[in-house]
């Protein structure tokens, strides 16, 4: 069974058909890339999967369970982690707290335990702090653990957002332009971090990117979206040499 399965998903914003008959089969452990020009509907697809918008038509299933109509926090709880194109961080919280906040959604003690400070509650707190620190180390931001998120360099903020997305133990991670605004050095570092995370956490990844090097190095399959429609789907080599993709996207953008 596919981990994430999307069938004929369509979405209208008023009269605008932003996503048209979109299909995806994401198998456990796979990395799929989603590329396409600005306004093609890529972020909208993430917003439809994660419950921010409800598709006008179509089905979205995670491990065979329907996600349509569920709230974003319920969908996250079922195993879908995501990052946002425009960083969505609590800017005045320190880095460690940030990731711990996301870990709390996985807590195993109740409100009474927290109130009375039971032994179990203390053990859970310790476990959560250790888990959050491990994630910060994985994403190479442990050195900033006690600093405010807003004081970090941009690339580091992006990595904190990813650490937070991984704190809910997702089965699928949706990354919306994870290298936006990064230098070539940061981009190479991000490629190796994602490889490591993919291997260590056995998470499947759906990745939106404009930086072609990044997509080509990481993804086994790539979809090209233009005006809400997938015009081509295939391996990096197939996509790079597809005349329609070159015409509609690769030939026109600065996608190095």
Burial of 81 (0-12, 13-18, 19+ CB in 10 A): buried
* Residues within the interface to ligand ATP (CB under 6 A): 13, 16, 18, 36, 38-44, 85
Q: Which is nearer to ligand ATP, 42 or 98 (CB)?
A: 42
To Mg ion, the closest distance from the beta carbon of 165 in angstroms equals 16
To Mg ion, the closest distance from the beta carbon of 248 in angstroms equals 17
Three-class DSSP category at 176: strand
Query: Site mask, Mg ion, residues 59-88, x = CB under 5 A?
Result: --------------------------x---
Is position 253 an interface residue for Mg ion (rule: CB under 5 A)? no
| 58 binds, options ligand ATP, Mg ion, none, Cβ within 5 to 8 A by partner type | none
To ligand ATP, the closest distance from the beta carbon of 27 in angstroms equals 24
Burial of 46 (0-12, 13-18, 19+ CB in 10 A): buried
To ligand ATP, the closest distance from the beta carbon of 34 in angstroms equals 8
| 79 binds, options Mg ion, ligand ATP, none, Cβ within 5 to 8 A by partner type | none
Query: Site mask, Mg ion, residues 186-205, x = CB under 5 A?
Result: --------------------
Length of the chain: 256
To ligand ATP, the closest distance from the beta carbon of 36 in angstroms equals 6
To Mg ion, the closest distance from the beta carbon of 14 in angstroms equals 19
- Binders of Mg ion: how many residues, by CB under 5 A? 3
Cβ within 8 Å of residue 196, ≥6 positions away: 138
Is position 43 an interface residue for Mg ion (rule: CB under 5 A)? yes
Q: Which is nearer to ligand ATP, 36 or 58 (CB)?
A: 36
Report d(CA 27, CA 15) in Å as an integer. Answer: 33
Report d(CA 251, CA 256) in Å as an integer. Answer: 11
Q: Which is nearer to ligand ATP, 205 or 208 (CB)?
A: 208
| 158 binds, options ligand ATP, Mg ion, none, Cβ within 5 to 8 A by partner type | none
The DSSP code for 105 is G
Instruction: Report the candidate in 187, 244, 241 with the shortest Cα–Cα distance to residue 210.
Output: 187
Q: Which tokens in the block code for residue 49?
A: 């999967």
Residue found under tokens 């946002």: 84
What are φ and ψ of residue 182, in 5° steps? -90, 150
Spatial contact of 43 and 210, defined as CB atoms under 8 Å apart: no
Helical (H) or strand (E) element with 35: strand 31-35
Q: Which is nearer to ligand ATP, 23 or 85 (CB)?
A: 85
Instruction: Report the candidate in 149, 211, 200 with the shortest Cα–Cα distance to residue 178.
Output: 211
Residues found near Mg ion in the complex (CB under 5 A): 42-43, 85
């Amino acid at each position: 069974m596919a981990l994430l399965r999307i069938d004929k998903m369509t979405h209208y914003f008023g009269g605008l058909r932003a996503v048209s008959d979109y299909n995806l089969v994401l198998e456990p452990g796979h990395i799929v890339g989603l590329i396409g020009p600005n306004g093609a509907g890529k972020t909208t697809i993430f917003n439809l999967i994660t419950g921010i918008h409800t598709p006008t038509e179509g089905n979205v299933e995670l491990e065979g369970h329907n996600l349509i109509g569920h709230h974003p926090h319920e969908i996250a709880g079922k195993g879908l982690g995501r990052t946002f194109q425009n960083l969505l961080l609590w800017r005045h919280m320190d880095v460690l707290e940030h990731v711990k906040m996301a870990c709390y959604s996985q807590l195993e003690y109740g409100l009474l335990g927290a109130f009375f400070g039971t032994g179990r509650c203390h053990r859970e707190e310790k476990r959560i702090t250790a888990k959050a620190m491990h994630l910060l180390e994985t994403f190479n931001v442990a050195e900033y653990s006690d600093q405010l998120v807003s004081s970090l360099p941009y690339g580091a903020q992006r990595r904190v957002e990813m650490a937070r997305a991984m704190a809910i133990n997702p089965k699928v991670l949706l990354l919306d332009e994870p290298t936006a605004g990064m230098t070539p050095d940061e981009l190479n570092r991000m490629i190796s971090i994602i490889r490591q995370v993919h291997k260590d956490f056995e998470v499947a990844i759906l990745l939106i990117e404009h930086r072609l090097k990044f997509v080509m190095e990481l993804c086994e399959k790539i979809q090209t979206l233009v005006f809400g429609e997938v015009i081509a789907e295939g391996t990096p080599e197939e996509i790079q040499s597809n005349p329609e993709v070159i015409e509609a996207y690769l030939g026109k953008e600065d996608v190095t």
